[in-house]
Amino acid sequence: MSHFECEGNMWTSVNISHSQSCCQKATTIYKRHHQNFQNSPSSWESVAGYTDCAAQDDCVGLGGVLLRCITWSLLLILAVTFSGTASAQIQPRKQIQLDFEDEQLHWRAESPQLSEYLKTREIIDNDGHSGQRCESYHFQSAQYLEEQRLVLDVPPSKVLFDELKASLWVRSTTPDLRFVLRLRFPNQIDPRTGQTLTLDLSGETYTDTMKWQRLECATSAEAVERRLILARAQFEAQGNSINIDARTAYVDQIALLMTIPKGATAVRIDDVNFGPIISPQELAPDANTQRQAKARLQVVDDRILKDDKPFFPVFTLYHGESLTEIQATGVNTLWITDYADQALLRALHDADIGAIAQPPQLTPEEAVLNRKGLPAFEEWTEPIWAWMFGYGIPEEDIRYIESWVEHVRDADRQLRRPILADVAGKERSFHRNVNFLGSSQFVIHSDISMPRHAKQLKHRRNLALPGKPMFTFVQTEASPAFLDYRGEGERLPVVEPEQILQQAYAAIAAGYKGVGFWKQYSLDTDVPGLNERVHAIRLFASHCKILEPWLATGRVVDDLFVHFDADMQHTQTGLLAPLKSRWDTPIEQISATGAKQPSEILATVIRSDEGLLILPVWYEEGEQCVPGPQAVSGIRMLLKGDIWQAWEVTPVGVTQSNLEVSWPAGGTEIYLKEFDQQSAIVITSKPNVIERLQRESRRVRDDAARAMVSLAALKFERVQNVHEELIGISPPVVQAELDLRQAYASLETASKELDASHPVEAYAAAQKSLQHLRSLQRKYWDAAIKDLPSATTSLDATGFQTLPDHWRTMIELGKRSRITENLIPTGDFESVAAMKENWSDGSTRTGNQRIQIQYDQRRNDHHLTFQLESTPGENSAIALTSPAVHAEAGDIVVISAQVRTASPFPGPEDAFLIFDTLVGRPGAVRLHEAKQEWQTVKLVRRVSRDSDFRVRLELQGNGAVEIDDLQVKRLLPE
């Protein structure tokens, strides 16, 4: 069954008489007077329950007799004195009794998380406790859930000490159901939220699994007092010392607190009783007298809002830069490490840049065992827009994160700021506790292509909860493993500015609602390449600001194939074929082409209330190492349906001059005359939307043009320097000098146009300069990897900036003659016993795994095989790690193996990896495609310091692979 709505309070009410046994005594004279006089149906009936003092001797003794007789006398006087007043305030005493024979549903799952796993909610026959029917719930959970609530809203009823009770009969497949009453204190503010205080009062716990069991909860004076003491202690631990005002407290809800295990869970409820119901004479209004602050950043379903307007977070990490440097990037939020840095918070507030801060942290023991709480966050923390719990959080930390989140939310009840966390697995499980989930993978300088990375982004998005937003980090500098690998004084790898932009636009196209720019070096670091990223981030932030309504609130609805104009068949229509167009595929080509993507450009369609946004992005093979020109004249895409107008939106303008719209059979064709890496096309029928886009574009275009020209100038100088260094050690590159001259000429034009206050022309000329520079860079890179099995064979070949080091290593490699024997003799995989003795198994304990040594009759030798079957999101892996190998500074280590991947890898993250621990997984050779023949895998590593390392073989996800002849050799200095 689907989720349900509350059907109202369909109560069965019956009058009951008031009586007490002698052992239902009040704790004090005041409490006894309070409960038996003020809250009774009549003053006389209340007193009548205590007329026989002698009959109570066995229970209370002589002191009790005297006390009760004195109390009786006092109550009798009060009863006579105030009988008129009390009689005027008589309230009907009623009790709720639900037996479900009327087939009405009453209970509900309180949280969306529990509702999501609710499969059926119904009245069933033939399994009631006392009658025929009961209310039944069936849950099917994909994970272990704690403290989930099934609730029943009841008419507000005063807390009558020792009198107000609730009971029910329950039958369940899971133990540890706890029965509670919700107490509301209308005269008491919760200092954590600024709202009326509510507390759960615990009753009995269900233990008799699969059998009917009666549970009861009563508002006894002792139970309520214990609950108040516990609450005061919790407030004290959080820095809120208060005396709880328990006057006119009442119960307005009963609940079952449940632990839902993974899999199926059934709960059945019958014979609910609650009463006596004494409505508060005047329900005090919620005492929300404190100032009500509101979180500026809100996550509403899958939309991000700031001050109730669409907002797309563009953020980076703070490393002590000046606020001027931060503002130069155009980011709208900043991740800071010290949430208590009040001076920085005030400065960010004045600049209207939101702080994302890591909240105070408890020890794992304090968090998981709930031994300590966090103090409520104070007013000065308001410049913090959201809480960030970390980057790359491993899936085994989920319990700790859940508890930490609970503590932070408890301390942040007044603002309820969104919670962010970037995780490395179990996305859906984390997403249940995190408002804005991050999932990031750094692919620059790796063996993961940008087309595959785009698929991985979408895959990870699908692993998370639907209808909740996600963000991702993109690289602005080389991974730490690559930086640590390099020796003292060696040049640093550079993440090209185009790679930064490419990652960010790929995230938008995958449906992510925020982008973070990851860095470890300060923005003001004066290193070639690092100074270019400020301008790249600025360009992206400017474009996002213009397109914010789509990026913050839209959703991805389609992907369009994009055709190069030169490759399309210009078909003429006529009387014999009036509906024929260039989009028709000849019959003889259908079986050959299938649904193959016609180009490396893919256009994503995002729909919002403003209209459609089409985002064509060029996903080029190899651009994770060195991007090519990625520019073309004429691209076409076919959109389903009829549209009449479209606008191209760039950081410097909103125009129709670069596009044409036509209407072939089957939809609307959009033609872009010139295309460079990415573009944005807006389709809307609302004139005010275009007016807003134009206003926003005029506001940012001068800054965007300056950023583009500055970026081109910095990159030209860097590329020219590397080009001069490559002359003589790299094979000659065709028209290298011509590329540089054309890049310089375009840069000169851009500078002149900028000085003349022509931002659009300056932006276009700077784009052209960057095209020529990318063309030159790609030619050098193609020459470097021509004879390599993989780009990551030589880490220096994974980026343009380090190509001189690559060629020097290759030259040195050819000179060395002192070569060791194979340092991993068990790499021939001939002995199972030797493998077990020397290799370590790092496989996960999930998925269907098989590791075997097999004999190949044709080759007359043994080889290693991995086979793995797993489900999406399981993060299964087979991994074997070799024995340690010692290497010394100055060595060149060559690792090689023969690999065959006969079966396909179905998922975007399924692959076979081989890597060394000198660099780790970022430097792995990854095999994704099925190949019947054996292929050579090779890694060449320069050793900058004495160290021990190992070789790791790893199969991720689904697939099968065969490995043989693994060799590790050191090439020693002469």
How does pLDDT run across 113-129, given as a tens digit for each residue? 888 889 999 999 888 99
Q: Which amino acid is at 320?
A: G
> Which string of DSSP letters, residue by residue, matches 649-670?
EETTEEESTTEEEE--TTSEEE
Worst-scoring range by mean pLDDT, 557-571, 735-749, 794-808? 557-571
Alpha helices in 472-621 (DSSP H): 480-485, 497-509, 533-546, 548-553, 587-593
For residues 969 and 528, give the distance between their C-alpha atoms in angstroms, rounded to a whole number: 35
Q: What is the predicted pLDDT for the residue at 526?
A: 83
What DSSP state is assigned to residue 791?
A: G
For residues 529 and 686, give the distance between their C-alpha atoms in angstroms, rounded to a whole number: 42
Q: Which amino acid is at 470?
A: M
Q: Which carries the bigger pLDDT value, residue 533 or residue 232?
A: 533
The pLDDT of residue 47 is above 60: no
The pLDDT of residue 578 is above 70: no
Give yes or no for a contact between 274 and 237, defined as CB atoms under 8 angstroms apart: no
Beta bridge partners of 671: 636, 660
For residues 469 and 514, give the distance between their C-alpha atoms in angstroms, rounded to a whole number: 8
What is the SS3 assignment for 572?
A: coil
Tokens of residue 828, six digits: 């021939």
Q: What is the predicted pLDDT for the residue at 595?
A: 52
Looking at the chain, the whole-number percentage of residues with pLDDT higher than 90 is: 61
92: left (phi over 0), alpha (psi -120 to 50) or beta: beta
Worst-scoring range by mean pLDDT, 155-169, 392-406, 606-620, 828-842? 155-169
For residues 404 and 407, give the distance between their C-alpha atoms in angstroms, rounded to a whole number: 5
Q: Within 13 A of 890's CA, how many CA atoms are on the CB side?
A: 5
Give yes or no for a contact between 754 and 702, defined as CB atoms under 8 angstroms apart: no
Q: What is the predicted pLDDT for the residue at 87?
A: 33
How many Å is the Cα radius of gyration of the chain?
A: 36
Q: Which carries the bigger pLDDT value, residue 284 or residue 231?
A: 231
For residues 590 and 824, give the distance between their C-alpha atoms in angstroms, rounded to a whole number: 51
CB count within 10 Å of CB 590 equals: 9
The model's pLDDT over 720-739, given as tens digits with 9 standing for 90+, comes to 999 999 998 999 999 999 99
> 714-751 burial, b for 16+ CB within 10 Å, e for fewer?
bbbebbeebbebbeeebeebeebeebbebbbebbebbb
For residues 28 and 463, give the distance between their C-alpha atoms in angstroms, rounded to a whole number: 59
Q: What is the predicted pLDDT for the residue at 163?
A: 79
Q: Within 13 A of 271's CA, how many CA atoms are on the CB side?
A: 16
The reply to whether the predicted model has a pTM over 0.85 is no
The model's pLDDT over 675-711, given as tens digits with 9 standing for 90+, comes to 999 999 999 988 899 999 999 999 999 999 999 999 9
The pLDDT of residue 34 is above 50: no
Q: Report the Cα–Cα distance between both ends of the chain, in Å, rounded.
A: 76
Kindly give, in sequence order, each residue whose CB lies less than 8 Å from that of residue 178, ignoring residues fewer than 6 positions away. Answer: 202, 203, 204, 205, 206, 256, 257, 258
Strands 631-639, 555-564: pairing kind: antiparallel
Provide the mean pLDDT of the chain: 84
Q: What is the predicted pLDDT for the residue at 230?
A: 86
Task: Kindly report the length of the chain.
Answer: 974
* Residue 372 CB-density burial (10 A; 0-12 exposed, 13-18 middle, 19+ buried): middle
Q: What is the predicted pLDDT for the residue at 445?
A: 96
Q: Which of 835, 775, 826 lies closest to 620, judged by CA?
A: 775
Q: What is the predicted pLDDT for the residue at 655?
A: 95
Tokens of residue 686, six digits: 């609302």
Q: Which residue has the tokens 């400020």?
A: 534
Instruction: For residue 809, give Cα distances in angstroms to 39, 480, 893.
Output: 91, 21, 11
Beta bridge partners of 97: 273
Residue 483 has phi, psi (to 5 degrees) of -70, -40
Kindly give, in sequence order, each residue whose CB lies less than 8 Å from that of residue 352, ignoring residues fewer than 6 positions away. Answer: 332
For residues 612 and 174, give the distance between their C-alpha atoms in angstroms, rounded to a whole number: 49
> CA-based diameter of the chain, in Å?
115
Q: Which carries the bigger pLDDT value, residue 32 or residue 530?
A: 530
Segment of 298-312, 359-373, 539-553, 896-910 carrying the highest mean pLDDT = 539-553
Instruction: For residue 78, give Cα distances in angstroms to 50, 74, 75, 551, 826.
Output: 14, 6, 5, 70, 97
> Residue 518 belongs to what H/E stretch?
strand 515-518
The pLDDT of residue 88 is above 70: no
Q: Which residue has the tokens 């931002």?
A: 759
For residues 869 and 872, give the distance between their C-alpha atoms in angstroms, rounded to a whole number: 10
3-state per-residue secondary structure call for 593-639: HCCCCCCCEEEEEEEECCEEEEEEEECCCCCCCCCCCCEEEEEEEEE
Residue 276: cis peptide before it, omega within 30 degrees of 0: yes
Give yes or no for a contact between 565 and 670, defined as CB atoms under 8 angstroms apart: no
The model's pLDDT over 415-436, given as tens digits with 9 standing for 90+, comes to 999 999 999 989 999 999 899 9
The pLDDT of residue 60 is above 90: no
Give yes or no for a contact between 325 and 524, defined as CB atoms under 8 angstroms apart: yes
Q: What is the predicted pLDDT for the residue at 490?
A: 80
> Residue 832 belongs to what H/E stretch?
helix 832-838
Q: What is the predicted pLDDT for the residue at 713?
A: 97
Kindly give, in sequence order, each residue whose CB lies less than 8 Å from that of residue 487, ignoring residues fewer than 6 positions away. Answer: 942, 944, 945
The pLDDT of residue 23 is above 50: no
Q: Which amino acid is at 758?
A: H
Task: Taking residues 757-784, report their average pLDDT.
Answer: 97
The pLDDT of residue 224 is above 50: yes
For residues 177 and 256, give the distance between their C-alpha atoms in angstroms, rounded to a whole number: 6
The pLDDT of residue 53 is above 60: no
For residues 889 and 521, give the distance between their C-alpha atoms in angstroms, rounded to a whole number: 27
For residues 922 and 825, give the distance between their C-alpha atoms in angstroms, rounded to a whole number: 26
Give yes or no for a contact between 690 and 684, defined as CB atoms under 8 angstroms apart: yes
Give yes or no for a contact between 209 and 217, defined as CB atoms under 8 angstroms apart: no
Beta bridge partners of 896: 938, 967
Q: Which carries the bigger pLDDT value, residue 855 or residue 194?
A: 855
Tokens of residue 460, six digits: 């990870």
Q: Which carries the bigger pLDDT value, residue 746 or residue 289?
A: 746
Q: Which amino acid is at 34?
A: H
522: left (phi over 0), alpha (psi -120 to 50) or beta: beta
CB count within 10 Å of CB 322 equals: 12
CB count within 10 Å of CB 324 equals: 9
For residues 136 and 122, give the distance between their C-alpha atoms in angstroms, rounded to a whole number: 5
Instruction: For residue 318, give Cα distances in angstroms to 5, 285, 345.
Output: 46, 45, 12
Q: Which of 951, 960, 899 lies closest to 921, judged by CA?
A: 951
For residues 9 and 96, give the distance between their C-alpha atoms in angstroms, rounded to a whole number: 10
Q: Which carries the bigger pLDDT value, residue 11 or residue 859?
A: 859
Q: Which residue has the tokens 């574009």?
A: 697
Tokens of residue 254, six digits: 């009963």
> Residue 429 belongs to what H/E stretch?
helix 427-431
The model's pLDDT over 432-479, given as tens digits with 9 standing for 90+, comes to 989 999 999 999 999 999 999 999 999 999 999 888 999 999 999 999
93: pLDDT confidence band, cut at 50, 70 and 90?
Answer: low
Task: Taking residues 620-629, report their average pLDDT.
Answer: 96
Residue 787 Cα to chain centre, angstroms: 40
Residue 824 Cα to chain centre, angstroms: 41
Q: Which of 217, 209, 342 lies closest to 267, judged by CA?
A: 209
Tokens of residue 692, six digits: 């807003």
Worst-scoring range by mean pLDDT, 60-69, 159-168, 604-613, 632-641? 60-69
What DSSP state is assigned to residue 37?
A: I
Q: What is the predicted pLDDT for the residue at 599?
A: 85
